[in-house]
Amino acid sequence: MGKLKIPKKTYTRGPWTDRFGYKHGSRRVTRGSYLAPDKGTKGRTPRSQQWFSPGVHTGWEKGLPAAERRELVLDAFGGDYLTAARSKQALANVTKDKETKKAAQSDASYFFRMYRKHG
């Protein structure tokens, strides 16, 4: 997993008493920058793991008509609706391009529908 650089920050540490009973007043403390593991936020993929590497080259392009895109994907997966749907869903989940996301989601929902219908 990747690392993220946490920037330098200044904060105020409140008054405290050390183990010998000596009282220290509050101070401005500068924390240096450091590297922390990238855990992401709840429900999100960590930035260091945002990648997509399809196992099968399908020839799918967002600019093609829907019927042509779906035919290419289905041919590439040998007529397996479920695998085709999962591959397009994976693409839709990781892309940041709105057009690609919309096209991949529509293709995935089409393939899931066809899988439920035909098995």
Long-range Cβ pairs for the range 92-99 (8 Å, 24+): 94/45, 94/50, 94/51, 94/52, 95/52, 97/62, 99/62
Per the prediction, the chain carries an average pLDDT of 88
Query: pTM for the whole thing?
Result: 0.59
Q: What is the pLDDT of residue 111?
A: 97
Q: Where are the domains of the chain?
A: 3-37, 51-118
Cα separation, 28 vs 9, in Å, equals 10
Q: Which tens digits make up the pLDDT trace of 55-103?
A: 889 999 999 999 999 999 999 999 999 999 999 999 998 888 899 999 9
Residue 45 has pLDDT above 70, yes or no: no
Q: What is the pLDDT of residue 77?
A: 94
